[in-house]
């Protein structure tokens, strides 16, 4: 059997579908033909194009997976950064509200008004104190048309401890009834003050009411809190 015929039969022989006679003839030929034996061996070798395609597909798959992993990692980082920023902003906002939002009234039961006296210029001098260790930054005013005025000390949810030597929560206060009336009228409340309270409700503390007899302030009070022409002129200039 010549090489041409054998080479035509080699694919059938390789796949095991030729007849027994053809297989025997091919094997006999292969024992003495190097060229046909080499052709049969090449049939078992992988196709270069297929191998290249497999390698190319594998590289593309690895590249795709790596790209997806990087995108997921970046998205996760962005979500984490956004969550951290939101948490910081929320914490900062809560801290500001807790320390600066002065809307919580001081319990009137803790308010003490002592040493009421009257300066020679008619203003009322007294000592105001809150019976705890916290400071005070805000006292708001509310006016009633019947002549009642309420002084409302208010704090934030968290208030720092008071200064040992100077704090609105433990301090001498000076009050001018005419100036109070003028301030109320300037804010649209047409009234004449007849009573002044600290706090509201059943536990409110009476500071002053019309007709109240007050002891005269002493000389030291006059020197410290009494009328001072230079100071009055200065504040008159500031108000104008």
Query: Residue range 151-163: average pLDDT?
Result: 91
**10 and 120: one domain?**
no
Residue 144: pLDDT over 70: yes
Element at 188 (helix H, strand E):
none
Residue 160 domain-assigned?
yes
**110 and 26: one domain?**
no
Query: Residue range 79-92: average pLDDT?
Result: 90
Token pair 């090449």 in the structure block, residue: 42
pLDDT band at 139 (very low <50, low <70, confident <90, very high): very high
DSSP string over 95-163: HHHHHH---EEPPGGGEEEEEEEE-TTS-EEEEEEESSSB---EEEEEE-TTSEEEEEEEE-SS-PBPP
**What pLDDT, on the 0 to 100 scale, is given for residue 32?**
79
**91 and 23: one domain?**
no
- pTM above threshold 0.85: no
Residue 240 domain-assigned?
no
Residue 135: pLDDT over 60: yes
Residue 14 domain-assigned?
yes
**21 and 122: one domain?**
no
- Total domains, the chain: 3
**133 and 150: one domain?**
yes
**80 and 139: one domain?**
no
Q: What is the residue range of 93's domain?
A: 62-100
Residue 49 domain-assigned?
no
**83 and 110: one domain?**
no
Tell me what percent of the residues of the chain surpass a pLDDT of 90: 42
pLDDT band at 233 (very low <50, low <70, confident <90, very high): low
Residue 174 domain-assigned?
yes
Query: Residue range 191-218: average pLDDT?
Result: 93
Residue 27: pLDDT over 90: no
Residue 239 domain-assigned?
no
Query: Residue range 102-125: average pLDDT?
Result: 94
Please say whether the beta carbons of 131 and 112 come within 8 A. Answer: yes
Mean pLDDT lowest among 109-113, 216-220, 230-234: 230-234
């Amino acid at each position: 059997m010549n090489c041409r015929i054998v080479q035509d039969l080699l694919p059938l022989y390789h796949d095991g579908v030729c007849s027994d006679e053809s297989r025997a003839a091919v094997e006999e030929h292969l024992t003495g033909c190097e060229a046909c034996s080499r052709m049969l061996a090449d049939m078992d070798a992988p196709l270069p194009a297929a191998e290249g395609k497999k390698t190319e597909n594998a590289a593309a798959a690895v590249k795709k997976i790596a790209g997806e992993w990087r995108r997921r990692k970046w998205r996760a980082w962005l979500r984490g950064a956004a969550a951290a920023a939101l948490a910081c902003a929320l914490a900062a906002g809560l801290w500001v509200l807790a320390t600066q939002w002065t809307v919580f009234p001081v319990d009137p039961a803790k308010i003490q008004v002592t040493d009421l006296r009257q300066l020679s210029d008619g203003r009322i001098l007294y000592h105001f104190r809150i019976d705890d260790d916290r400071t005070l930054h805000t006292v708001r005013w509310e006016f009633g048309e019947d002549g009642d005025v309420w002084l409302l000390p208010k704090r934030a949810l968290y208030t720092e401890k008071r200064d040992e030597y100077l704090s609105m929560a433990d301090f001498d206060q000076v009050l001018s009834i005419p100036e109070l009336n003028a301030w109320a009228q300037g804010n649209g409340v047409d009234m004449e003050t007849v009573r002044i309270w600290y706090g509201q409700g059943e536990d409110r503390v009476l500071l002053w009411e019309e007709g109240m007899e007050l002891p005269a302030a002493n000389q030291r009070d006059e020197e410290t809190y009494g009328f001072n022409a230079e100071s009055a002129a200065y504040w008159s200039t500031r108000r104008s």
